[in-house]
Structure 1
Amino acid sequence: MKSFTFDDLLQSYFSERWLTERSRISYSVPVKLFRRFVGQDKLPVEVTRDDVREWREFCFSEEGRNLAHSSWNNYCRHNRILFKHAIDHALIDTSFNPFAKMEVTSPRKRKKTLSKRQVEMAREAISLYKKMELYRKKPSILHPVWFWEVVFETFYHTGIRLTQLLLMKPEDINLKSRVLTATWQGAKNNREHFVPISNALYPHLENLMNSAKMVGIQRGEQLFNVNRFSVRHRMETMDSWQVESFYQKLSQICGYQMSPHRFRHTLGTELMKEPDRNLHIVKALLGHSNISTTLEYVEVDIGSLRSAIEGRL
């Protein structure tokens, strides 16, 4: 039997499964990290339970940067699936999966959200820096502010994922029908879903679409691309680092942490506080496959809990 390497197993698995580039990376990275720990020359058939156990202990140590439980479970799951593929197809001479049942119980922390006051403070900061750029005629630390304002409002009003925003093209925004398409390539469940463009978001997206036309952004090209509108950025396409850098700067200005995903949690939580709340609508808006996933995004309102307790008296 051929001595299959980890690269061989990855290629074999990728040839069996139709995966996006993003999904392939999600398998390649955990394998790369495991090989770095056990040694590049170690073959899959030589991996033991002790190897996996020692890697787990390393990951949770200070030397391993105190890896989060959820991250370890992600690494473990992808390696386990790869070994299962190897065993099921008799690619390695063993029937034992060293990654089986090696996940750990992950603590469930409440989702972090933003209060209405925090959102308004962030808007005030953006507005201030936009005026500064206008009157000073030079880039600010949030340059170009008008563009990042569109990004900010898009995350706030739609709750889409960062990857979905980065993959968005001009044809994904229909201003006439007031519908935004969140692409399947950027979703964890590979499902495309549609988000209504609210009255508050409409002028921001209209501004972006008009500006994109002026700089020559064509169909099929990245729409949310700060590099096409900036005198300071010079990359070909906008990546997640540029978006995260903006939120880091805005967080420092406002004095509290903000991120694209925190807006996603906030949207789900706020919608579930409404009197006519509908869990199925929130599920559809966030693009989830099942209700249980949506429930994880919804933070219980302490005010509602207090009212329920007071109502017993």
Structure 2
Amino acid sequence: MRITEAAELYIALNVYQQDTADTLNRVARLFETRSGCRSIESIDLVAIKTFRDETLKVAKPVTYNGYLRYLKLLSKWLFDEEYVQKDWFSKVKSATLPIAPPKTVDDDVFLKAITYLKTDSGAPQPAWFWLIVIRFLYFTGVRRRQLVAIEYQDLDLKKQVLTCSYRGSKTYREWDIPIADDLIPDLEYLIRRAEDELGRPMREGDRLFNVCLFYHRYKPDPKNNGAMRREHVTGFMRRLSNKIGQRIGAHRIRHTTATVLCNPVDEEHEPDIFSVQKLLGHTQLSTTRNYVKTKIGRIRTQVNRMSLPK
């Protein structure tokens, strides 16, 4: 059995998220190409080392580690189901990564991006749409995949609540989060523009964010009823970063949301990290902690409270 065939079988029996299926298929193809190993029976440590070396020539260690997680998952399943006699990946270690603080977006970068989108005629179009996307990402902390999966019925403007649907969830869960007051005019405007393009009121099943409605150069997802794809968000963020000369991206904004909420301006109030965990949809508090960059000012305040006898 080819490795790609094994991946397809595993997906058919165990995977329910299209994103996960696409990634596993891609990793299986990469392993076959870079290791020179085609069948599951021919996998060995030499093939794994070859894959690692070839991958690290063109990708960062963090990318290799992501591939390795999927390959370990597939290998363990093949061993458990007795398709192979040994789980060769079981003792393969991930590449060592430096532990750096979370990457966030400073206020001046937000200001530069927003000003550029508002004033520059050469800004990515439709600029009004992308402004709303940036603001929405900031005030909600949602991922790209969640943003593009939001449907009209997930939004309750009267109660100011958004249901983060299982459709865009990495863990196939749903949870509710509040919609900030500042976002209400944005969302009302977005809905009006969408209804103008559709020629009808928005209804259940319509995607809330769909740039394809407003700009024909964006090609809709043929597998998902003409919906916007998360790659559209990635491409926009890359172009925006190049134009303003500063890095900005959906996941950096997500880290920023966590950092801002856990570093309140009023240092007399302790941050509510459990609320932040709920907002971001993390199942483990430790994950939320990894998202937060504690500002040096808060640490300085704590240090200056220390004293020694004189």
Q: Same fold (TM over 0.5)?
A: yes
Query: What's the % identity of the aligned pairs?
Result: 27
Give, in angstroms, the shift of residue 272 of structure 1.
0.5
Measure the CA separation in 2 of the matches of 1:247 and 1:18: 29
Measure the CA separation in 2 of the matches of 1:303 and 1:74: 34
Greater displacement, 195-204 / 229-238: 229-238
Distance 1:30 1:252, change over 3 A: closer
**Where does structure 1 lack aligned partners over 5 or more consecutive residues?**
133-139
Contact 2:116 2:123 in 1 (8 A): no
| Match of residue 68, structure 2, among 76, 83, 91 | 76
TM-score, normalised with respect to structure 2: 0.87
Measure the CA separation in 1 of the matches of 2:103 and 2:186: 26
Measure the CA separation in 2 of the matches of 1:234 and 1:189: 28
Contact 2:155 2:161 in 1 (8 A): yes
1:266 equivalent in alignment to 2:239: no
How many residues get paired? 294
Aligned to 1:136: none
1:108 equivalent in alignment to 2:102: no
Match of 1:164, SS state, is: helix
Measure the CA separation in 2 of the matches of 1:284 and 1:52: 38
Give, in angstroms, the shift of residue 242 of structure 1.
2.4
1:58-117 Cα offsets, whole Å, 9 max, x none, are 222xxx31x22222122122112212111111123x1x2121221233322211111223
One-letter code of the match for 1:192?
E
Measure the CA separation in 1 of the matches of 2:18 and 2:118: 38
Measure the CA separation in 1 of the matches of 2:4 and 2:53: 25
Distance 1:127 1:289, change over 3 A: same
Aligned to 1:46: 42
| Match of residue 159, structure 2, among 151, 154, 177 | 177
One-letter code of the match for 1:83?
S
Contact 1:180 1:194 in 2 (8 A): yes
Distance 1:75 1:231, change over 3 A: closer
| Match of residue 164, structure 1, among 117, 123, 146 | 146
| Match of residue 118, structure 1, among 109, 112, 116 | 109
| Match of residue 245, structure 2, among 255, 269, 280 | 255
One-letter code of the match for 2:62?
S
Measure the CA separation in 1 of the matches of 2:217 and 2:10: 42
Alignment of 1:1-313 (within 5 A): 4-39=1-36, 42-60=38-56, 64-65=57-58, 67-92=59-84, 94=85, 96-102=86-92, 103-129=94-120, 140-216=122-198, 218-230=203-215, 232-233=217-218, 235=220, 236-274=226-264, 275-313=269-307
Contact 2:212 2:218 in 1 (8 A): yes
Contact 1:48 1:98 in 2 (8 A): yes
Give, in angstroms, the shift of residue 199 of structure 1.
1.0
TM-score, normalised with respect to structure 1: 0.87
Give, in angstroms, the shift of residue 218 of structure 1.
4.2
Contact 1:272 1:298 in 2 (8 A): yes
For the aligned residue pairs, the C-alpha RMSD in angstroms reads 2.0
Greater displacement, 146-155 / 214-223: 214-223
Give, in angstroms, the shift of residue 5 of structure 1.
2.5
Greater displacement, 6-15 / 46-55: 6-15
Give, in angstroms, the shift of residue 190 of structure 1.
2.1
Greater displacement, 169-178 / 116-125: 116-125
Measure the CA separation in 2 of the matches of 1:196 and 1:240: 23
Greater displacement, 195-204 / 119-128: 119-128
Match of 2:181, SS state, is: coil
Measure the CA separation in 1 of the matches of 2:124 and 2:286: 37
Measure the CA separation in 2 of the matches of 1:107 and 1:86: 32
Contact 2:36 2:47 in 1 (8 A): no
Query: Post-superposition, which runs of at least 4 consecutive aligned residues in structure 1 deviate over 6 A?
Result: none
Contact 1:69 1:107 in 2 (8 A): no
1:268-304 Cα offsets, whole Å, 9 max, x none, are 0011112241111000000100101000100121111
Distance 1:78 1:286, change over 3 A: same
One-letter code of the match for 2:212?
N
Give, in angstroms, the shift of residue 232 of structure 1.
5.0
Aligned to 1:137: none
